[in-house]
Structure formats: C-alpha cells, structure tokens
Copies of this chain bind each other. A is one copy, B any other.
Amino acid sequence: MANKRIADGLAAIDELLVTVVDSDIETLHDASVHILTSGGKRIRPQMALLAYLAAGGEEIADVIPIAAAVEMVHTATLVHDDINDHSLTRRGKATVHSVWGRTFALLTGDYLFTKVYELMAPYGADYNMIMSEACTRLVEGETLQAYAAKQGTIDRETYKRIIALKTASLFEASAHMGARLATEDENTIASLSSYAYNLGITFQLVDDILDIIGDPEDLGKPVGNDLLQGRGVLAVSNGLDRRNDARTTTVADVAVQDRPDAIEQMMANLRESGALELVRLQAVESAERARQALIPLPPTSAKSELLSLVDLVLDRHK
C-alpha cells in the first residue's frame, strides 16, 4: 500500500476492531481478538476507505468506524460459518469453535454482530439502512447456500444468486457507505457501488476456484471444503458435462471413511470438466465490469489503488 494515508487508515481500522471488543467477559474478548487478529485480507474495509477517498473524502477518521463495521460483519459470519461447516482452521489458525467450543463460538459471533451495531449507531438512518440490508442479504445468501447444498439442487442460477447475496452485497454496501460519506453526487456513489459489487463477485469466484486448486498452506485452510459442503464451483459444473460424475454426486452420499478419496476424485473431475475455466472466465468478466465502473471517476491515488485491487483479487493465491 504505497499511499501513506491509506496505510494509516487501515492501521486505524485494525486498532478500532480490537479496541471495540473490550468486553470484561474474558471469553468474548479473547475469542473476538483471536479471530480479528488472524490476518484477514481486510478487503471490505478497503472498499469503504478507498471509495471514500476516491469520492473526494478528506477526513479519513469519519469513515474508519464504517470500515471497521463491515469487517466486523464479515468476521461474525466467519465464526458462525465455521460452526456450521465444522471447520477446524481458518487463516492458518484454529477456528473459534475448535478452541472455545460451539456454545461460545455462537455467542462470540452474536457479540461481534452487536459490535457492528455499536460501530454504526452514530451514523444516520441512511447508513444504518444500507448496512442492515447488506447484513440481511448476507444471511440470506448463507441460508440459500446451505439449503441448496442440502437439497442437492444447486444450479448455476442459484450459485450466481448465492455469491451475489453472500459476498457482493457487503462489498457493495462498504463502497456505497464510504462514497456517500464523501459526496452527494449519486453518479459517483453508483460507480463505486457497482465497482465493489463486481469486485465482490470476482472475489467469490476466485475463492471458489482456490477451494479446488489452491495450496492449503497458502490458504491457511483445507481445500475441498466447499465440495464437502456440496457448494462452490461444483454448481458451475452442472450442465457442463452431463456424463460428469461431479454433476450429481455429493459427498453426503459417500461413507465418511471414503470421503477423502471421494473429494480427491471430485476435485480431479472438476479440474478436467472445464468448470474451473468457466468460473475463471466469469471472474475475468466481472473484474472487467469492476474496472469499467471506475471510468467516470477522476484520476486519484485511491482510484489507482482500486484498479490495482482488481488485479490482486483476480490473481491471488490465498
């Protein structure tokens, strides 16, 4: 991060995230700090911060609580997701529920949600509506994903709807709030919101590809987890090759002891099915839409950072 203002902003967000979870109930404090300092990419706070600057904002301190709040939403959902997915590691560290148990993980996620609310309270009704809608969309996306995976009915349309709800909505809201704080110009706000929405789509598509071909060491978590849950890129292979086993077999059909082999086989099938290339193509397309959305904005260092972020998201390995 070349720009000192941006670097300082991100440092202030990191600091606020830790100071706001100051509960004297030790478990809540410890579990919250554990997950908040586990080396997240902070991409959603960057959306808020950079959108604010790209829209002409000058008082960086004004946007810090919003930027911290969007990371807090994301973190709360990670803690709850890890319970539902039985994940043991996240960002190379033990998950909250694997250290503190399921009851405390559930409560820690709830606690982090209350802190989102605390961080956002000082902003007006407009911002709180944007944020509450994004939170609702996020939970809807997670629910649709769990439902579709359970029913085995996940298809490409549902997959697109899931990633829009569970990932792109919060990216969009982050930039929307950041931009609105800096300007009243609705075109600028719309450009930055559209940028972030499309970057969110790109981010999730790449995430799902990394679940199949990523290096578990780089990722800090096991690969194949989405397959295990019957979601992710699996959906994209539907209809791509009707003879392909990956289309209909879900891991739930396989005996527990055979699952590692079954996942290995499904991953190999997916790699060969052309599904990954299709997802990659969609990621490239949404990345391009993100770039296009920025065209109307004047050249600033924040705009350059936003453009660099597109490449980073597209080419990331972790």
Chain B residue nearest to A31 (CB atoms) is B143
B117 & A131 in contact (Cβ 8 Å cutoff): yes
Residues of B within 8 A of A1 (CB): none
User: Given the known A-B contacts A117-B132, A125-B123, A135-B114, are A140 and B80 also in contact in the complex, defined by CB atoms under 8 Å?
Assistant: no
A110 & B80 in contact (Cβ 8 Å cutoff): yes
B27 & A143 in contact (Cβ 8 Å cutoff): yes
A→B interface (CB under 8 Å) = 23, 25, 27-28, 77, 80, 83-84, 102-104, 106-107, 109-111, 113-118, 120-125, 128-129, 131-133, 135-136, 138-140, 142-144, 146-147
A128 & B139 in contact (Cβ 8 Å cutoff): no
Chain B residue nearest to A80 (CB atoms) is B106
User: Given the known A-B contacts A121-B125, A128-B120, A128-B128, are A140 and B110 also in contact in the complex, defined by CB atoms under 8 Å?
Assistant: no
How many copies of this chain does one complex carry?
Answer: 2
Residues of B within 8 A of A25 (CB): 140, 143-144, 147
**When chains A and B are docked, how far (Å) is the Cα of A240 from the Cα of B23?**
31
Minimum-distance CB pairs A-B, first 7? A121-B128, A117-B132, A114-B135, A118-B132, A114-B136, A84-B103, A121-B129
**When chains A and B are docked, how far (Å) is the Cα of A85 from the Cα of B28?**
19
**When chains A and B are docked, how far (Å) is the Cα of A27 from the Cα of B150?**
12
SS of A interface (majority):
helix
Q: Looking at the complex, which one of B23, B27, B106 makes contact with A83 (CB distance below 8 Å)? A: B106
A136 & B115 in contact (Cβ 8 Å cutoff): yes
Residues of B within 8 A of A128 (CB): 117, 120-121, 128
B84 & A142 in contact (Cβ 8 Å cutoff): no
Residues of B within 8 A of A104 (CB): 143, 146-147
Residues of B within 8 A of A133 (CB): 118
**When chains A and B are docked, how far (Å) is the Cα of A109 from the Cα of B128?**
19
A84-B103, A111-B139, A111-B140 known, 12 other contacts, Cβ within 8 Å = A25-B144, A28-B140, A103-B146, A104-B146, A104-B147, A110-B113, A116-B117, A117-B117, A117-B131, A118-B136, A123-B125, A124-B124
**When chains A and B are docked, how far (Å) is the Cα of A132 from the Cα of B136?**
17
A189 to chain B, nearest CB (A): 18
**When chains A and B are docked, how far (Å) is the Cα of A77 from the Cα of B109?**
12
A133 to chain B, nearest CB (A): 7
**When chains A and B are docked, how far (Å) is the Cα of A140 from the Cα of B24?**
9
Sampled A-B contacts (14; CB under 8 Å)? A23-B140, A25-B144, A80-B107, A104-B143, A104-B147, A107-B143, A110-B142, A111-B140, A111-B143, A117-B132, A118-B133, A118-B136, A121-B128, A124-B124
**When chains A and B are docked, how far (Å) is the Cα of A83 from the Cα of B107?**
11
A163 to chain B, nearest CB (A): 15
Residues of B within 8 A of A143 (CB): 25, 27-28, 104, 107, 111
